[in-house]
Chain A
Amino acid sequence: MALTILDPTAERAPTGRPLAERPGPPATVALLDIRKPRGDVFLDEIEALLRERRVAVLREAKPTFAKPAPHDLRREIAARCDAVIEALAD
């Protein structure tokens, strides 16, 4: 016999979001440290490589790795930079 059940999910249809247009050679890149140990080591290396290529670098950091980046931080990066690199790992 067919069985009817109720959907346990939030029934949200995922919104399709296209990738942002690729920026070409960026003028300014944000490097976002999520505050995991040694993320700064990784970002220091990236910063050096970017500066060799004459790209401006803005160093930013989340207050804690355990929570999403605050809205204001995201807005600031979006307003001031052409691209962002996040340093994730330990």
Chain B
Amino acid sequence: MLRWTPSTDDLDAPSAIEYELYRNGNFFQLTPPGTSAIGIYTQPGTQTWTVVAVDRVREGRLGVLSSPADAVAAAPAAMRDTYERMALELLALVKHDCPVCDQVLPALDAAGVRILSQSSENDTAAQAARLSLSRVPEIDLDLAVSERLDPVAVPAVFLLDGDAERDRVEGLARDRLAHLLARAGRPASLEGLPEMRPGCLSRTRDPDVAPRLAARRARAEGRIVSRELEIGTLEDPLEALHDRGLTDGLPVVPPTPERVVETLEHTSRHPQDLVGVVPPYGGRATVEKVAINAVLAGCAGPELPIVLAAVAAACREDFALQGVVATTAPPGPVVVVSGPYAGRAGMNAGGNALGQGNRANSTIGRALQLTVRNVGGGRPGREDRAAHGQPGKVGTAFAERLDETAPWPGLAHARAPLGPDETGVTLFAGEAPRFVVDQLARDPDALAATLAAELEHVGSRRARLIHDALLVVGPEHGRVFRQAGWSRERLQDELHRRTHRRAGDLVRGADGIADGLPAGTVADPDAPVPKFAAPERILLAYAGGDAGLFSMIIGGWASGEMGSTPVTGSIEPWR
């Protein structure tokens, strides 16, 4: 926040005085009349701000008035009319296909103003001939000057003091332009020109140019450091990306610097911040590397904070990603997103939430898996030793449906200290979802009995204390629990209690099944043996369409200390 003491003037009331703001000597903006404080978003670091009062009646300057805010150093600006004429230079930016440039150029040319064109050499020469200019404007090569001065519109005339900008006029503002020319000692006749025309968009703002310049700046400023790979003119980019081993077998979006830099606009984090060290080879996933893989996966920009939070969670030691990648079992990371940002990123929590057709659901999990592949080095058939795998390993993500029908607050909110408006991701090492039908149960006990019976099958019925489970309760099942007032914890307790079995029925060889508990470990055949290590090891999420008395079970991999523990984290640090 920049504040200053309002100026006084013999002609203008304080409420009529405007102020010019200069950042490090460069003109930044003109305030509305009567302003004495303004909020400005800037990069961290020390900056010098100068505030100059402008008397709009006389177009003169009143002098320095500033009492700048904390951590902002004020630099005095003197009355400088005479001095300016000696030291200042004028520079004009124009382009060939701008009618307003055509109108102003003869006057600028006659006044001897240095003119740079944003257009090609040929177009500029043709424009000069068309307007009978005395000199052909110079070319602003690579738009370097335009990018530095960054006008919205051309013609743009700048008053420069060395590298520092003192003033500018964008478009055609006849009186201001005349004043500017006079200040630089190059008075010109602007008679016959309209009083005001808005000008044309600067080439730097063209949709085909702006992203390229933004990418160039990101590279120059060290925000982007990844190696650039060239794909030849005779190569099909999609084939080339497959050939270089960078895909999961489906087509990917080529991660051009422009796309990656645009995606990075959706996080406040520096692109070189570390998100996590990715197994199995310990590749460093920076925000930049994750953004590149998010682009590959087809993510839209607003998905990036969710992908970053998912990668950070996957790299936590207790998630045991090395084992999840390398195991012969089929799990992949399942990303459950709980909270309002899921909707803002376009995620689906309703009908077909676990299916296809929603871009964010389809690409968030894929971005995580491509990060695992490309940054971590986990490739199927090599580091990934899955006997079968499962289709969800392309990437699985869905949002929780936390609307008025939800029986409980979100999964992430139950597992981490998140505020109700905060969004969290929960990662679960899971297999493919399986459908559970109970179309008759209308009381919670009967429904819990069905769900418990089906949860017995995770891994196998003989598998005890090995697997966790993620139960995705559908809305028509959730309604039964909501109406009965069953909390998340109540249902977890009921499911845990109902998934105990007699030890004697689980012992090796019982019912002709070889697998099971070693006979020597069973002292009492009637002792109940739990399926799950604890009630909270049955994770509950809520998602799905309005119709269908169904829920879905996603079985876990080796769980807890022996394998993977679900990890929950907030997306707030990644926004």
Contact = CB atoms under 8 A, between A and B. Distances in A.
Same complex for A and B? Answer: yes
Given A5-B254, A6-B260, A64-B561, A12 B281 contact: yes
Interface stretch (B151-159, B225-233, B350-358): B225-233
10 cross-chain pairs, A with B, having the tightest CB-CB distances, nearest first? A10-B283, A66-B323, A66-B563, A7-B227, A6-B226, A8-B374, A64-B562, A3-B231, A8-B292, A66-B558
Interface centre among A5, A7, A12 (most CB of B within 10 A): A5
B333 to A, nearest CB: 14
B106 interface: no
B228 A8 contact: no
25 contacts: A1-B233, A3-B254, A4-B228, A4-B230, A4-B256, A5-B228, A5-B229, A5-B231, A5-B237, A5-B254, A5-B257, A6-B228, A6-B229, A7-B227, A7-B292, A8-B289, A9-B283, A10-B278, A10-B281, A10-B284, A10-B285, A10-B289, A12-B377, A66-B563, A68-B322
Interface centre among A7, A9, A64 (most CB of B within 10 A): A9
A67 B260 contact: no
Given A5-B256, A64-B561, A65-B558, 18 more contacts: A3-B230, A4-B230, A4-B256, A6-B255, A6-B256, A6-B260, A6-B292, A7-B228, A8-B293, A8-B370, A9-B283, A10-B281, A10-B374, A12-B377, A65-B323, A66-B320, A66-B323, A67-B322
Interface of A: 1-12, 63-68
**Interface range for B:** 35 or more
A6 B370 contact: no
B226 A7 contact: yes
The main secondary structure of chain A at its interface with chain B is loop
B553 interface: no
Nearest to B246: A8
B159 to A, nearest CB: 37
Contacts of B563: 64, 66-67
Contacts of A11: 226-227
Nearest to A36: B328
A5 B284 contact: no
Contacts of B561: 64
B237 A8 contact: no
A8 B296 contact: yes
B297 to A, nearest CB: 10
B562 to A, nearest CB: 4
A11 B376 CA distance: 10
B217 to A, nearest CB: 15
Interface in B219-256: 224, 226-233, 237, 241, 246, 254-256
Nearest to B260: A6
Contacts of B228: 4-7
B423 interface: no
Interface string B293-325: 100100000000000000000000000101100
